[in-house]
């Protein structure tokens, strides 16, 4: 049996910060790191940047949720930069997110310039 998407809730001002200004499909904007979801504050080291992008095409998943966009957390360690991507949705009054698989460009050498927009996937999104 395929694994279901596991959603985690973001609430309050952190959810508002994620949703603010998501009116340009494919556009990328930085978000103040103070709004990083609480889930990551103790579990992920080296987080230095937070970006969000609205989905180019809204995709409805099998559970009925519609993917609103993606966010990514960039983090560094002594020799590499890494990023982790997540898709998010609104469900009622809640904002929910789930991890996306690592893809091309998950690691790159520290100090090497990277175009942030190239780190976003923009669908189709995994349904399981």
3-state secondary structure 11-54: CHHHHHHHHCCCCCECCEEECCHHHCCHHHCCCCCCEEEEEEEE
Can you tell me the mean pLDDT for 107-119?
76
Which tens digits make up the pLDDT trace of 76-101? 877 778 888 899 998 888 899 998 87
Would you kindly state where each structural domain of the chain is located, as residue ranges? 8-106
Which tens digits make up the pLDDT trace of 22-37? 777 888 999 988 888 8
What pLDDT score was predicted for residue 9?
93
What pLDDT score was predicted for residue 96?
93
Mean pLDDT of the chain: 82
């Amino acid at each position: 049996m395929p694994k279901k998407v596991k959603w985690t809730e973001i609430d309050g001002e952190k959810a508002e910060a994620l949703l603010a200004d998501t009116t340009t499909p494919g556009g990328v904007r930085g978000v103040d790191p103070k709004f990083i979801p609480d889930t990551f504050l103790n579990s992920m080291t080296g987080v230095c940047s937070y970006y969000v992008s609205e989905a180019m095409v809204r995709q409805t998943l099998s559970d009925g949720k519609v993917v609103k966009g993606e966010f990514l957390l960039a983090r560094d360690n002594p020799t590499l930069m890494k990023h982790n991507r997540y898709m998010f949705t609104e469900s009622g009054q809640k904002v929910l997110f789930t991890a996306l698989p690592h893809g091309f460009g998950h690691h790159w050498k520290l100090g090497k310039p990277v175009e942030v927009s190239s780190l976003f996937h923009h669908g189709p999104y995994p349904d399981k």
